Amino acid sequence: MSVQPVIHWFRRDLRLSDNRALSAALSAGVPVIPLFVFDSRIYKSQRSGAPRLAFLLRALHALDDTLRQHNSRLLIRFGTPPEALRDLVSETNAQAVYCNDDYTPYAQERDRELKATLSVPLHLYDDLLLLAPGQVNKDDGDPFMVFTPFKKRWLSLPKMPFEPDLPPGRFHPLDGIDGKALPTLAELGFAETIAVPDASESQARRLLLGFTSNSIYRYNEGRNRLAADWQHDPVNGSSFLSPYLHLGILSIRHAYGLAQAAQDKAPDKESADAVEAWISELIWRDFYNHILFYFPHVLKHNFRREYNALQWRHAPAELQAWKAGMTGYPVVDAAMRQLNATGWMPNRARMIVASFLCKDLLIDWREGEQYFMQHLIDGDTAANNGGWQWTAGTGTDAQPYFRIFNPISQSMKFDPEGTYLRRWLPELRDIPNDYIHAPWEAPTPPAGYPAPLVEHNFARKRTMEAFGVIT
Beta-strand ranges (E) seen in 238-382 are none
Instruction: Say which amino acid occupies 277.
Output: A
pLDDT at 227: 84
Catalytic status, residue 281: yes
> Which of 61-65, 305-309, 399-403, 446-450 tops mean pLDDT?
61-65
166 CB neighbour count, 10 Å cutoff? 16
Catalytic status, residue 424: no
pLDDT tens digit sequence for 373-397 = 999 999 999 999 999 999 999 998 7
End-to-end Cα distance, the chain? 66
C-alpha neighbours within 13 Å on the C-beta side of residue 21:
28
Confidence of residue 313 (pLDDT cuts 50, 70, 90): very high
Residue-level length of the chain: 471
Catalytic one of 9, 344, 388, 424: 388
Give pTM, 2 decimals.
0.96
Catalytic one of 9, 154, 344, 365: 365
Q: How far apart are CA 94 and CA 86, in angstroms?
A: 10
pLDDT at 234: 58
Catalytic one of 137, 347, 406, 427: 347
Domain boundaries 305-468, CATH class: mainly alpha
Catalytic one of 9, 154, 284, 322: 284
Catalytic status, residue 91: no
How far is CA 270 from each of CA 75, 203, 260, 449, rounded to the nearest angstrom?
48, 28, 15, 41
Catalytic one of 83, 137, 220, 312: 312
Whether the Cβ atoms of residue 427 and residue 448 lie closer than 8 Å to each other: yes
Whether the Cβ atoms of residue 412 and residue 420 lie closer than 8 Å to each other: no
Whether the Cβ atoms of residue 459 and residue 449 lie closer than 8 Å to each other: no
Topology classification of domain 6-127: Rossmann fold (3.40.50)
Confidence of residue 1 (pLDDT cuts 50, 70, 90): very low
Instruction: Say which amino acid occupies 400.
Output: P
How far is CA 278 from each of CA 219, 221, 260, 283, rounded to the nearest angstrom?
7, 11, 10, 9
CATH 1.10.10.10 fits 129-162+201-294, yes or no: no
User: Where along the chain do its domains lie?
Assistant: 6-127, 129-162+201-294, 305-468
pLDDT tens digit sequence for 285-299 = 999 999 999 999 999
Higher pLDDT, 194 or 117: 117
Catalytic status, residue 312: yes
Catalytic status, residue 322: no
